[in-house]
Structure 1
Amino acid sequence: MSTSDPPERTETVVIGAGAVGCSVAYHLTELGAEDVTVIDQGPLPVTGGSSVHAPGIMFQTSPSKIQTKAAHYTSRLLSDAGVYDEVGGIELARSEERMDFLRRRVEWATSYGLPEPELLSPEEVTEHLPMVNEDEILGGYYSPTDGRVDGIAALQWYMQESSADFYGDTQVTDLDVEGGEVNAVVTDRGRIDCDRCVMATNNWGYQTGQLAGLDLPIAPVEHQYVVTEPMEELSDEETAVGDNTTGLDVPGDRDIAEYMSEGPTRPVGRDQDNSLYFRNHGDALGMGSYNHETLSVDPDDMGENSEERQASVRGFTEEHWTKPTHRNREKSAKQAFDELLPATEDQEYAVTENGIFVFTPDGMPAVGPTAAVDGLWSGLAIWWTHSGGYGRILAEWMENGVPRLPSGPVDTGGIHVQRFEPHAGEKDFFVDRGAKRYEQVYSIVEPRWQPDDHRTLRTSPFYHQQQELGAEFYQSGGWESPQYYEENADLVERYADRIPEQDGWQGINRSPIEAAEHLHTRENVSMFDMTTFSSIMVEGSDAEAFLQRVCSNDVEIDVGQVRYSLLLNEGGGILADITVVRLDDDEYMVTTGGGNSPQIHGNWLKEHAPETVSVTVEEGGKTTIGLWGPKSRLLLQRCTDADVSNSGFPYFRAKQIYVGEVPVIALRVSYVGELGWELWAPTEYGQKLWETLWEEGQDLDVRPMGGGALSSMRLEKGYRLWGTDIDTDSNPLEAGLPFAVDMDTDFIGKEALQAAKDAGIDNRITPLTLDDSTDIMLSGRPVLKDGEAIGYVQAGDFGYSIGESIAYTYVPDEYAEAGTSVQVQCEGETYDATIRDEPLFDPGRDKILR
């Protein structure tokens, strides 16, 4: 820690000396970075950010693998540092629905490697937490390594152990960005020239991004916390309140930082049925609440520290504590706490606050390199719980090009700062979506839940036709994408004997029409809206050489050929799976999926392209129809003069043709394992393309098909889905994609992949089917062998063509042989299952090659 002025030049500037900034700096220097400078607008270590007003509670279990892994790494790191109280954590159930949810917690914890997760009876809960009213609960979930971090002590430890230089009371006034690169961080104490910069300002993340011209969707929100006066029920607990912040410069109310530095001696707890959590602070009790209407803060109005005010703390609003203002909760925070912890009913409060923290539109962190500014990195929307892990991930990414934890590479699709769609930076949008995520923090969110605000932002040219056909729209990347069509309800009766009922949690928001569309496509012909998928045009005299360098497969192909390939990072992890189409000598079309794929994959190609190669991401520039099924050739031939026979238009070939009057790039590829084509056309022609195919196919019983059918059909064929089955945490050999790799070419990630191959592949993806159940398995649920977890469900669905429930999982090589018996735990049930060879459907490819 330094009291002198910041340097005029440094290699790396980290803006923000809170939990994330300190973690990034510590891990960068641990990995060998030598010239790291950390600055913060507040005093050190009590900066005035959320890291020092937060109670520090850490519940590690999440349905997200990366969130759970990051949390567990954080707990181990800070435990070894001596600044973590491993008192355990207990999540309570006050409803049957919550008990079901806690069973899911056990399954997620088992899948992702948390030690000894356990369900507790009410009596067992009160053995740990005697202040809890046993009559108010049905049970609890116990994670013994949960606990609490001492925020101020942890920041001090990071600063002492890191070789980075730290400067407090240093306000950033500008980011010097020129030519798409960050050149310097400008402060009120001088300019700091740098090669790279990390934004770790959390509550001020939007404002920091604005200095670089970026619209980062970081929404600040208030939530409430109180600490009681000393309680008789806790009188046996020792306390150091009064000494915790002695000698430290503390902005605002010193009592807040003082009490937050006082550790718990009993398990931390939470009552998610009422959006509450609690822990003891020595002989006092702290109680936190999300149980009020969302109190969004204008991201431009975060403000600064003063003697009277800590910048990330607002005044306590008593009405939100004593009155039920949360639209999904019947009781106020105080009423619910009084019932659960009766001893608190008449207690006075020594400390009260409305503390601020942030949410992104999807509730996940924003981590990684920004697209628009080289050298500018994001470490935002991260809580104490995950801060150590994401600091390590970000440092590895910056230093070695591979986001990873000591346990191995991690999946970045769900946390990448570049994942946000173009409209996400509009303030009303991300503030509203952040508010919704705040509201859902402790809610039980149903499978396939969909937001009801900010809809119809992006629609395909077929949208009105789809509405007329009764489309049930799901939102993906802002696009309205049909999941199924009510127009196809008559098909359910046709295929009733092949569509098992799905009850309980697995059946929520799922329609039998999805199954009927699957079966109809296998027998007839369907039209699937692929507008959410994107084309990326790669053009120029060096286009082939460039793609050969970034693609794992050999893309030195003839005009009209199509090749499936992967983009890998330096560690051999899968950044994307793509289809490469050669349209001309110097012109390629690269196609990728929907969701966050266009942003992440398109930006990666742009960043790596030389000046002689043009990369254009045509998100929304083209519209696409998947025409699939055994009658697809008959329908397409009716609409074009081009030869679409098997010999005239072979599998994995492309032609530029006319469908009616519409100019189309037709690819003979199929993501459902049936004869078919992807028909790519300029967006303005989309409506006419749909009408032409629809009208010509009526006597063939052409039907629209939604995303539900696509999901089950692609699993039957074993086709991978980036962000679900494959991501940066898996390499092509583990993922069963060796055919997408040509080791005779030179490509990014080849050296790491060769090393992995030489060392032996220990983990492999494989399908399994349930032995005697038609239930659908849900992602994140453990796969067991002899009672021990050997993997977890990556994706699951029912295979309506094969009549079996399918799940895909990665398992150790010794268990990957077909015929191996395993079990799957899902929704509190244990299912017998068998490892199978893939593909499960049409292994000879007779259908797709006909």
Structure 2
Amino acid sequence: MAQLPSQARVVIIGGGISGCSVAYHLAKLGWQDIVLLERKQLTSGTTWHAAGLVGQLRASQNMTRLAKYSADLYTKLEAETGLATGFRQCGSITAALTAERKEEILRQASLARAFGVEVNELSPAEVKDLYPHLNIDGVTAGVHLPLDGQADPGNIALALAKGARNRGARIVEQVKVTRVTQANGRVTGVDWTSGGEQGHIAADLVVNCGGMWGRDLAAQNGVTLPLHACEHFYIVTEGIPGLTQMPVLRVPDECAYYKEDAGKILLGAFEPKAKPWGMNGISEDFCFDQLPEDFDHFEPILSAAIHRMPMLAEAGIHTFFNGPESFTPDDRYYLGEAPELRGYWVAAGYNSIGIASSGGAGMALAQWMNDGEAPFDLWEVDIRRAQPFQKNRRYLKERVSETLGLLYADHFPYRQMATSRGVRRTPLHEHLKARGAVFGEVAGWERANWFANPGQDREYRYSWKRQNWFENQKAEHMAMRTGVGMLDMSSFGKIRVDGADALAFLQHLCANEMDVPVGRLVYTQMLNARGGIESDLTVTRLGETSFLLVVPGATLQRDLAWLRRHVGDQRVTILDMTAAEAVLPVMGPKSRDLLRLVSPNDFSNEAHPFGTAKEIEIGMGLARAHRVTYVGELGWELYVSADQAAHVWETLVEAGEGLGLKLCGLHAMDSCRIEKAYRHFGHDITDEDHVLEAGLGFAVKTGKGEFLGRDAVLRKRETGLSRRMMQFRLTDPEPLLFHNEPILRDGKIVGQLSSGNYGHALGGAIGLGYVPCRQPDESAESMLASSYAIEVAGKTYGAVASIAPMYDPKSDRIKQ
């Protein structure tokens, strides 16, 4: 073994394609003192047996950007390093066997056009022309991506390793990291062992690229890295005479993919119910290992494949392969710095798309480490989305049995996970269940998405058209628009910030004015140095030195990490209070009438104006009533201690019978908010979106003095907007919008929707999305003078565009 250094700038743990890519890209940025340690041999975990498919289209623009970067990098690596990567752009075809799958792949084709990925829609006959061996019985459509390809995964990793070495990185095999050391909340280095020797490397930064070993390594430091290995199967045929290079073929309705390789066919599967593996850890000597065959498990896939590809009936099986890969609870990998420990970075959990993703992921992580901020919005794969409870092994084992299969399942909108449910419930869960709630899950929270009518099945029936709850959503939506509705939003993240420096701390982090009277509620954003939005929240001043921050449930860990990162030596305490209080939004023109029936307090505009919070009596309990809304109507959010939540809920339900009170779910809340053009973090606003271009300048007060992001706001005001957030309504009331549908301005694709839903009060599907300005600071009038359309599954529909909210543009209703 080569002599290991006693210190390094960064230690990368794991020599699969992910670790090699991180080392390569850090070295390319000019970093010195890079050390990569591999417990056995490079590629010996998962990389060596990966199928090597390199697809460019992903579910979002930035994930597609990373996949396209990978493909571009792999075309250049051989010339740079002299190692053949086997990468060839043979194209890929996805064949649909149902009407619903046809709708899905045509929507994917629209998405590809919006993202600048070359794409061709195919009739069944055209699928046959491109793939003559295919039995097109039942095929409804196809999509062809000519620049997709396949590669040799092991050789790509070795080429990345060589490129890193050529730039000075040290890559050492047969060295196992036994522990990441830490002190005072920061990484200090790694302990290692090798062939009976052991030692320590001091380092400021560590990157966990440990794949299926990564979870247990992270757990030693209290870092949440929820992933679990599953068995992944494929067969390779004997040589087939006359078989020439073919596109990669995916038939997701039969859970199968096909790859021609050296005159043979590789048939792989993403079966609906997978086999988790390694529940009790992975043996020390695991290296280039295979798992036992399970032909019974694979047989249904093979039977369908022989029908779909008749030549397989004559081909012998050369290899039946079963090897482990790591999967995550939401089928997205993890990048970024762990919120629990400064200097602890992660790139792991690739869900069978590690080869296509690792080139771009390594580049993005290296840039992030170098600059101190992500190069663009990476929230989809950000490690901070992981919830601490998700490292529970039983939870992971059950969930990944489902997520492997979901890769090829229909990606219906609003699809809910079936496994590992019921982990986090609000105090009102059983009350809502008894009233017909149909639950969805976000960050582990069970949330009522819609309420079934008496006699109606309490389940989702998925479709790309109107789903079985569409009319339920409409009734709930219109109740909040015309009467009164009540939701359970106890899943909101609630953070207390207290201390002598609390005001100064929040003034620095928040763009709006925080020095407000006690009882005032402020809508604000926390910005980064580029003016991008790190957090979208409300802040209520509870006392001179006490503030309550309310954030989306899904971003709580991210927001806590952002706050803690900026505390320094200020006299501030930051406390997660999420589980302590239930939140009951009471919304609609009759909300004041309802509250007057259950409380002696004064809810008039004069006594309780918009944007204020007051303690109130309700029934026999107490609550804090925040006059604020996310649906665009008169209303209050009632914050109630968890122990009194059921009593307050029962009091409101009983009193509301005479007013027609309707229990409402998250789907109705979302359709209301999109009519009002309220932004949604993670879709409409991210750390890449400038707060002024997002149309949120009203919540930015540059006159208050210095705050994080202020300079970027002032610069943007000077140089002008380069794009604007706009709202669209389809003039045809039938099509549905979800997100990512292409926006056409005067017939040309200029962007895609960031979110969409149905506007039941406006009478059509509504979308939000950014439209580039044709020249710097193009006026709103000029932009609105154009004609707009939205593409849905290959068809174009005319749209009315607006910059002001189409519903109640002056916000008269919320202040009535």
With normalisation by structure 2, the TM-score equals 0.92
**8 Å contact from structure 1 (residues 199, 379) kept in 2:** yes
Matched, 1:167 2:127: no
Equivalenced residues, count: 787
The offset of 1:489, in angstroms, is 10
Question: Deviation digits for residues 763-807 of structure 1, max 9, x if unmatched?
Answer: 221001112334321212212235432111222222222323311
**8 Å contact from structure 2 (residues 238, 316) kept in 1:** yes
Matched, 1:777 2:737: yes
- Correspondence for 1:317: 294
Of stretches 726-735 and 94-103 in structure 1, the one that deviates more from structure 2 is: 94-103
- Correspondence for 2:270: 290
User: Which of 685, 702, 705 is the matching residue for 1:743?
Assistant: 702
Equivalent positions of 1:417-428 (< 5 A) are 417-428=383-394
User: Which of 6, 27, 40 is the matching residue for 1:42?
Assistant: 40
- In structure 1, C-alpha distance between the alignment counterparts of 2:426 and 2:462, rounded to whole Å: 33
**8 Å contact from structure 2 (residues 224, 386) kept in 1:** no
Matched, 1:214 2:223: yes
For 1:610, the aligned partner's letter is G
- In structure 2, C-alpha distance between the alignment counterparts of 1:96 and 1:718, rounded to whole Å: 32
Equivalent positions of 1:425-464 (< 5 A) are 425-464=391-430
- Correspondence for 1:204: 213
- Correspondence for 1:72: 68
User: Which of 705, 710, 715 is the matching residue for 2:664?
Assistant: 705
**8 Å contact from structure 2 (residues 746, 786) kept in 1:** no
**8 Å contact from structure 2 (residues 131, 246) kept in 1:** yes
Matched, 1:603 2:599: no
Indicate how the Cα distance of structure 1 residues 698 and 452 shifts in structure 2: closer, same or farther if over 3 A, else same. Answer: same
Equivalent positions of 1:47-196 (< 5 A) are 47-82=43-78, 83=85, 84-114=87-117, 116-135=118-137, 137-162=139-164, 163=167, 164-189=169-194, 190-196=199-205
Question: Deviation digits for residues 299-332 of structure 1, max 9, x if unmatched?
Answer: 44323456xx514x323333333x2xxxxxxxx2
**8 Å contact from structure 2 (residues 10, 203) kept in 1:** yes
The offset of 1:837, in angstroms, is 3.0
**8 Å contact from structure 1 (residues 667, 679) kept in 2:** yes
The offset of 1:292, in angstroms, is 7.2
2:784 aligned counterpart, secondary structure: coil
- In structure 1, C-alpha distance between the alignment counterparts of 2:473 and 2:499, rounded to whole Å: 43
For 2:361, the aligned partner's letter is Y
The offset of 1:563, in angstroms, is 1.1
Equivalent positions of 1:3-22 (< 5 A) are 4-22=2-20
- Correspondence for 1:241: none
Indicate how the Cα distance of structure 1 residues 470 and 292 shifts in structure 2: closer, same or farther if over 3 A, else same. Answer: closer
- Correspondence for 1:805: 765
Indicate how the Cα distance of structure 1 residues 303 and 737 shifts in structure 2: closer, same or farther if over 3 A, else same. Answer: same
Matched, 1:471 2:437: yes
For 1:142, the aligned partner's letter is H
The offset of 1:269, in angstroms, is 1.6
- Correspondence for 1:494: none
- In structure 1, C-alpha distance between the alignment counterparts of 2:574 and 2:557, rounded to whole Å: 13
**8 Å contact from structure 2 (residues 339, 561) kept in 1:** yes
- In structure 1, C-alpha distance between the alignment counterparts of 2:606 and 2:262, rounded to whole Å: 79
Equivalent positions of 1:717-732 (< 5 A) are 717-732=676-691
- In structure 2, C-alpha distance between the alignment counterparts of 1:32 and 1:663, rounded to whole Å: 60
- Correspondence for 1:480: 446
- Correspondence for 1:547: 506
For 2:407, the aligned partner's letter is V
- In structure 1, C-alpha distance between the alignment counterparts of 2:207 and 2:306, rounded to whole Å: 44
Indicate how the Cα distance of structure 1 residues 503 and 419 shifts in structure 2: closer, same or farther if over 3 A, else same. Answer: closer
Indicate how the Cα distance of structure 1 residues 135 and 592 shifts in structure 2: closer, same or farther if over 3 A, else same. Answer: closer
- In structure 1, C-alpha distance between the alignment counterparts of 2:331 and 2:627, rounded to whole Å: 38
- In structure 1, C-alpha distance between the alignment counterparts of 2:313 and 2:672, rounded to whole Å: 56
Q: Structure 2, unaligned stretches of length 5 or more?
A: 79-84
Matched, 1:538 2:492: no
- In structure 2, C-alpha distance between the alignment counterparts of 1:293 and 1:615, rounded to whole Å: 41
- Correspondence for 2:82: none
Of stretches 558-567 and 540-549 in structure 1, the one that deviates more from structure 2 is: 558-567
- In structure 2, C-alpha distance between the alignment counterparts of 1:440 and 1:293, rounded to whole Å: 9
- Correspondence for 2:361: 390
Indicate how the Cα distance of structure 1 residues 394 and 510 shifts in structure 2: closer, same or farther if over 3 A, else same. Answer: farther
**8 Å contact from structure 1 (residues 764, 813) kept in 2:** yes
For 1:49, the aligned partner's letter is G
The offset of 1:480, in angstroms, is 2.0
Q: Structure 1, unaligned stretches of length 5 or more?
A: 238-264, 324-331, 491-501
- Give the % identical residues: 30
**8 Å contact from structure 2 (residues 273, 402) kept in 1:** no
- Correspondence for 1:762: 722
Indicate how the Cα distance of structure 1 residues 318 and 469 shifts in structure 2: closer, same or farther if over 3 A, else same. Answer: closer
- In structure 1, C-alpha distance between the alignment counterparts of 2:652 and 2:8, rounded to whole Å: 61
Equivalent positions of 1:263-274 (< 5 A) are 265-274=245-254
**8 Å contact from structure 1 (residues 447, 509) kept in 2:** no
The offset of 1:210, in angstroms, is 2.4
Question: Deviation digits for residues 15-74 of structure 1, max 9, x if unmatched?
Answer: 112111111122223334322211111224xx3121121121112223333332221121
- Correspondence for 2:339: 371
**8 Å contact from structure 2 (residues 270, 405) kept in 1:** yes
**8 Å contact from structure 2 (residues 237, 318) kept in 1:** yes
Equivalent positions of 1:642-653 (< 5 A) are 642-653=601-612
For 1:310, the aligned partner's letter is F
For 1:681, the aligned partner's letter is V
Indicate how the Cα distance of structure 1 residues 486 and 87 shifts in structure 2: closer, same or farther if over 3 A, else same. Answer: closer
Of stretches 356-365 and 814-823 in structure 1, the one that deviates more from structure 2 is: 814-823
